[in-house]
Structure 1
Amino acid sequence: MIKKLHDMGLRSEHAYTAAVASIGLSMLTWATSLRVEPGVGLDRADRWGIYVGEWAPTFFGLGIALSHYEQEEGSLMGKAHTNGEHKRQMTGTA
């Protein structure tokens, strides 16, 4: 799943940005719900804030998974480059 997300263009920075944005959005939805629905009370505003706030850990988790995938992919690319360079040196080609 992480590879597919990465292949679709999602990077760890995007997931981290979404996590931080969801924290701000959580506070915004809580405050908005508190103002727009004054008769309903604090409980409903809290539920909205918590609902949106639950997205942040998910996005942070995706960011970490994508970061590990990106590092792993980078190290494999480095190994392929090193192996190719070694083969060129052994054959004497430039």
Structure 2
Amino acid sequence: MIIKKLHESGIRSEHAYTAALASIGLSFLSWTASLKKEEAGLDRADRWGIFVGEWAPTFFGLGLALAQYEKRDGGLLKH
């Protein structure tokens, strides 16, 4: 149901994969920025990096689900 609504709103698997890759880069950037800008040190930087890094698997999962939906939806449209 959620995947269908995402697809109907124009979100495609490529968008989710792009968001996953971007979140990996953002994870590294947030870790680096936190390490350099905050006085809390490595522990806080690690928490920021892990927090943002946890988004990537979610986006990859959505990408896979959307790809399956697109494949099934495309097959239904051809008949």
- Verify same fold: TM over 0.5: yes
Q: 2:64 matched to 1:64? A: yes
Looking at both structures, which has the greater relative contact order when contacts are Cα pairs under 8 Å and sequence separation is at least 6?
Answer: 2
Compute the displacement of 1:70 (Å).
0.2
Q: 2:45 matched to 1:45? A: yes
Where does structure 1 differ by over 4 angstroms across 4 or more consecutive aligned residues?
Answer: none
Compute the displacement of 1:78 (Å).
1.3
Give the distance between the partners of 1:59 and 1:67, measured in 2 at CA: 12
Q: TM-score, normalised by structure 2?
A: 0.97
Q: How many residues align?
A: 78
Q: TM-score, normalised by structure 1?
A: 0.82
Equivalent position SS for 1:50? helix
Compute the displacement of 1:41 (Å).
1.0
RMSD of aligned C-alpha atoms?
A: 0.5
**Alignment match, 1:7:** 8
Identity of aligned residues (%): 69
Give the distance between the partners of 1:36 and 1:21, measured in 2 at CA: 22
